[in-house]
Amino acid sequence: MLVTDGDAVGIASLETLMREFSIHHQSPATAPSGFVPKGGDLVSAKFSDGAWYRAKIRRASPVKKEAEVTFIDYGNQDTVAYSNIRPLDAKFRSLPGQAQDARLRFVLCSMSGLADCFSAL
């Protein structure tokens, strides 16, 4: 993997933000009364590893009291209970999300060799 000077600065900024973010979420604070996440909201969401990360709400289900989120710094997605979602504090909004959407184009793979094709990427 090639890391440029710009990437190194972004990685350092993310590492600093995540250290502060982790300390911020050590308190047992809950979401403000009446907070209901909705599509497009930037939030703090607890991932299955038990840690909190910055996320964006993709879809929210008030009936199920859960939301589909994309973790904006790592790109993974999950469904998270409302009890594990908080509004994103303003001090954690200055660094843009570090995950980038990407699509593969013009990749030729046969169906029989699909696993081998993707393992080579």
CB 14, CB 59: distance < 8 Å: no
Chain segment 1-17, per-residue pLDDT in tens: 334 445 656 778 888 87
Within a 10 A sphere around the Cβ of 21, how many other Cβ atoms?
20
CB 46, CB 29: distance < 8 Å: no
Q: Whole domain around residue 27: which residue ranges?
A: 5-119
Chain segment 110-119, per-residue pLDDT in tens: 666 666 666 6
* DSSP β-bridge partners for residue 71: 55
- Total structural domains within the chain: 1
pTM for this predicted structure? 0.72
Residue holding tokens 């909201």?
41
Domain of 15, CATH number, reads 2.30.30.140
